[in-house]
Amino acid sequence: MTGKFETRLAELGVTLADAPAPAANYVPFVQVGDLVFVSGQISQDANGFITGKLGDTMSTEAGAVAARTCAISLLAQVKAACGGDLDRLVRVVKLSGFVNSTQDYTEQPKVINGASDFLVEALGDAGRHARAAVSAPSLPLGVAVEIEGIFQIA
C-alpha cells in the first residue's frame, strides 16, 4: 500500500526512483537520533546530469527545475533511510542549496525555490524548512545545483 506522501507525489506525476548511489567516498545519509542528514544531491533527471552556470548558460527558471530534481533525490534518500516507508518523514528541517553561478548572479534563492516549493507542494506543512541558498563557482560534474538536507523522521 502506498502512503500519503507517495500518493501525493504520484498526483504530482513523481515516482521516487531508487536512491542515487554515492559518487565518491561518503555515505548517502547518516541518521542521528530522529534526524537524517542527507548528503548533497546533484541536479539530474532521466536524461542525465543537468549542467550549466546560472547567469551565463542557464536561466533562473531552468535552475529552479534543476533544483526540483535535487529535492526528488533527497526524498528518495529519506525513503531509503526510512526502510522504504516515506510516511516516517516528520518534516524537512533544513536545506542547504548550492548554485553553480557567475560572480555577479544574485538569484540563488529563486533557484533553490524550485526545491522548496516542490517540497511544500508534495509534503504540505511537513515540507516547510529553514534554508540557505549560496553561490558556488563550480559544482561536481558541472551540474547546475546541489542540495543537501536535514530531515526529522519517526
Pick the CATH number of 4-8+46-153 from 2.60.40.10, 3.30.1330.40, 3.40.50.720, 3.40.50.2000: 3.30.1330.40
Q: How confident is the model at residue 133 (pLDDT cuts 50, 70, 90)?
A: very high
Cα(76)–Cα(32) distance, rounded to whole angstroms?
Answer: 18
pTM of the model: 0.96
Q: Does residue 1 register a pLDDT over 60?
A: no
Question: Does the pLDDT of residue 2 top 80, yes or no?
Answer: no
Nearest Cα to Cα of residue 22 among 135, 148, 144? 148
Reported as a single tens digit per residue, the pLDDT across 13-25 is 999 989 888 888 9
Encode pLDDT of 40-95 as tens digits. 999 999 999 999 999 999 999 999 999 999 999 999 999 999 999 999 999 999 99
| In the block, residue with C-alpha cell 529535492 | 71
Averaged confidence pLDDT in the chain:
96
Domain residue ranges in the chain: 4-8+46-153
